[in-house]
Amino acid sequence: MQVDMTKGNPLPMILKFMLPLFIGNIFQQLYNMADTIIVGRFVSADALAAVGATGTIMFLVLGFSQGLTTGFTVLTSQAFGAGNTERVKRSVANGILLSLIVSVVMTILSVLTMRPLLRLMHTPDNIFQDSYTYITIICLGLAAGVFYNLFSSFLRAIGNSQVPLYFLIFSAVLNVFLDLFLIIVMHMGVAGAALATDLSQGISAVLCLFYIRKRAVLLWPKKQHWHINPLDTEHQMAVGIPMALQFAITASGTMIMQSAINLFGSVAVAAYTAANKLANVLTQEMPAMGQAMATYAGQNYGKGDEQRIHKGVRAAVSIDTIYAVLAAIVGLLLVRPTMGLFFIEGSNFEEMFPWALTYIRITVIFYIPLSYIFIFRNTMQGCGHGFLPMMGGVVELFARLITALVAMHAMSYPLAVFCDPAAWLSAAIFTGVAYLFVMKQVKVELRNRMTTTLVPHACHSS
């Protein structure tokens, strides 16, 4: 199913397109949460802390590679909006070939740098080996996540947000069964949790590829498209590299925050991990809205309708303001019952709970600026502008760095937790201003493109 987002009322269209993405993100977070719940309850609290200590590194490695591949699909969205079927197919082939290269290079680099990176982050000694085992297996399966993200993004580029959801639900259910089998039956510990993640994502990627081949023929390249095209490569890398760097810069900031959290010991790390999983579920509408706005902006940029992009952004801001308030309320209500899912009896729940509650209480206040970041950033990226969204990541990095350094100096856990809100507020202000600047550039670009298109026609008429 394809959706042309260049026509109709933006608000219901964006909402309808975003909902499957939101549900899919929730399922993705739930099966990530399943890893930690099963590890926490059937292995140990230290094992849960070990998995949690690698979360920011996973965000760095997977975020960088997936930022690249998501950027590769912006060209597909723009070509679809412009009605250029030939370039749609060409961009798909080029994106797949570039992603193969990215997967190989990133897998080698990530595996080689994991041990020193964990040491640099002050990973507690009692969880170090489990952390290293878990993250190394995740990195060895990097290609599975990259290609699932790539194929799903190709489908979203032509307005299909439902089919990726079906494959993600299947992957989530499969991941839980594999977790239970590999951890409880096979006694593989954290290694089983990592392997379950790799296998479930790999199977989803294969299913998504088969669907494109059989049902989304608009996307399937022909024989003549299967080569590296210099023009498309330049365009895709120009968007993909800033998106990847933006992920990497943001992840570097969260790694600095994790380093500050790690100083408070494995109990604090385990509690923070559990609370962060709850927060991730609550905020998944926000990246889903960002994904929707990237497709919406890409298609309307391809058509040349700058005013319609503005209308979509206003609709998205209205939706996310309401959602952020509701998510904050739900987070405060659910923090205690949710924490009980992660730890077995005897793991000193009452000692861990205050650490988790502090994180939730401080961060939920800032969900509104967090939601705006995704809207402004992804809209700019959908229009092919990657530099200023990347600089928004730099703003986040410095906000987290300064806050973390103060927290580590003062040995203050609340200050360490405040790294996230400091980054969100700073980046929201920056990306909001950047959006206004970029849209002025977009207006000029589209006017120039229209002039270029009309000039030959005018000459012919004369």
pLDDT tens column, 107-121: 999 999 999 999 988
Q: What is the pLDDT of residue 457?
A: 44
- Tokens, residue 410: 């003062």
CA atoms lying within 13 Å on the CB side of residue 63: 22
Q: Is 460's pLDDT higher than 50?
A: no
Q: Which residue has the tokens 């977070």?
A: 29
Q: What is the pLDDT of residue 143?
A: 94
Q: What is the pLDDT of residue 4?
A: 79
Q: Is 328's pLDDT higher than 90?
A: yes
Q: Is 385's pLDDT higher than 80?
A: yes
Give the predicted TM-score (pTM) of the model: 0.74
Q: Which residue has the tokens 């298609």?
A: 299
Measured on CA atoms in the order 398, 401, 406, 409, is the torsion positive or negative?
A: negative
Of 374, 387, 89, 359, the C-alpha closest to 218 is 89
Q: Is 66's pLDDT higher than 80?
A: no
pLDDT tens, 409-419?
999 999 999 99
Q: What is the pLDDT of residue 248?
A: 84
Across 186-195, 240-249, 256-265, 310-319, least confident range:
240-249
Percentages of the chain per state (helix, strand, coil), in multiples of 5: 85, 0, 15
Of 344, 349, 356, the C-alpha closest to 276 is 356
Q: Indicate the pLDDT class of residue 453, thresholds 50, 70 and 90.
A: low
Residues 253, 266: Cα–Cα separation, whole Å: 20
**DSSP state letter for 373:** H
Residues 110, 98: Cα–Cα separation, whole Å: 18
Residue that wins the pLDDT comparison between 348 and 148? 148
Q: What is the pLDDT of residue 347?
A: 55
Q: What is the pLDDT of residue 70?
A: 80
Q: Using a pLDDT cut of 70, give the percent of the chain over it.
A: 95
Q: Is 462's pLDDT higher than 60?
A: no
Torsions phi, psi for 23 (to 5 deg): -60, -40
Of 254, 335, 266, the C-alpha closest to 123 is 266
Are 163 and 86 in contact by the 8 Å Cβ rule? The answer is no
Q: Is 332's pLDDT higher than 50?
A: yes
Q: What is the pLDDT of residue 449?
A: 80
Q: What is the pLDDT of residue 353?
A: 86
For helices 10-42 and 162-179, angle between their N-to-C axes, nearest 10 degrees: 10
Average pLDDT over residues 249-269: 86
Average pLDDT over residues 40-65: 82
Q: Is 2's pLDDT higher than 70?
A: no
Q: Using a pLDDT cut of 90, give the percent of the chain over it.
A: 50
- Tokens, residue 46: 């230290």
C-alpha distances in Å from residue 235, one per residue of 63, 383, 386 = 20, 12, 11
Are 50 and 194 in contact by the 8 Å Cβ rule? The answer is no
Residues 161, 21: Cα–Cα separation, whole Å: 6
CA atoms lying within 13 Å on the CB side of residue 47: 24
Write down the mean pLDDT value for the chain: 88
Q: Is 145's pLDDT higher than 80?
A: yes
Q: Indicate the pLDDT class of residue 270, thresholds 50, 70 and 90.
A: confident
Q: What is the pLDDT of residue 346?
A: 54
Are 434 and 382 in contact by the 8 Å Cβ rule? The answer is no
User: How far from chain centre, in Å, is Cα 166?
Assistant: 18
Q: Indicate the pLDDT class of residue 435, thresholds 50, 70 and 90.
A: very high
